[in-house]
Amino acid sequence: MKKQKKDKGIEMAEQTKKVNLELEIDTSTIDSSKNRYQGLIDLAKAVDAWRIFPRLFLSVYIFLLYKVTIWFMNLPTPNFEQSGLVSIVVGAGAAWFGLYAGTSKGNK
């Protein structure tokens, strides 16, 4: 079907055309929403990468060792039980350091 149209004194022919299209639509659902726990996951990765807890535990141990050493040296006559306490604190330090040194990022 042709229509004649006049535009500013110029005749233009308009044509109408019918076209059949085939369209295939994927109806599977995709969850593209953001993970609401992503902030906590990033925080956990940062704490793991910075090794905050092992460093905190070693810092507390160093403070405890310092206090026990000063206490022991200020005793006028230390007895067997008091020297045993110091020995346990120093031995625990060796274990703590061994665990700290053995848990590097390369072991994962």
Structural domain boundaries in the chain? 51-108
CB 90 within 8 A of CB 65: yes
pLDDT at 71: 96
Reported as a single tens digit per residue, the pLDDT across 5-59 is 555 666 667 788 888 888 888 888 777 778 888 899 999 999 889 988 888 988 9
Reported as a single tens digit per residue, the pLDDT across 67-77 is 999 999 999 99
Beta strand pairing status for 10-15 and 2-7?
Answer: antiparallel
107 pLDDT exceeds 60?
Answer: no
pLDDT at 101: 81
| 51 phi-psi bin (left φ>0, alpha ψ -120 to 50, beta other) | left
For residues 88-106, average pLDDT: 81
- Does the model's pTM come out above 0.85? no
